[in-house]
Copies of this chain bind each other. A is one copy, B any other.
Amino acid sequence: MSARDARDVALETIQRELTAVARRARATAAQMHPELSLVAYTILAHIEEQQGCRATDLAAHYLLDKSTVSRQVAALERLGLIERRVDPSDHRVQVLHLARHGNEILATARASRRETFEARLRDWDREDLTRFAADLVRYNVDAASHP
Please report A residues at the B interface, Cβ cutoff 8 Å: 3, 6-7, 9-15, 17-28, 38, 42, 62-63, 113-114, 116-121, 123-124, 126, 128-133, 135-140, 142-144, 146-147
Contacts and interface: CB of A to CB of B under 8 A. Distances in A.
B23 A133 contact: no
Nearest to A119: B146
Given A22-B26, A27-B63, A140 B6 contact: no
A25 B15 contact: no
A15 B115 CA distance: 11
- Looking at A114, A131, A135, the one whose CB has the most chain B CB atoms below 10 A away is A135
A32 to B, nearest CB: 11
Nearest to A145: B120
B133 A13 contact: yes
B14 A146 contact: no
Given A10-B126, A129-B7, A136 B62 contact: no
A124 B138 CA distance: 10
- Between A27, A28, A132, the greatest number of chain B beta carbons within 10 A of the residue's beta carbon is seen for A132
Contacts of A26: 22, 26
5 contacts: A17-B133, A19-B38, A120-B139, A121-B139, A132-B139
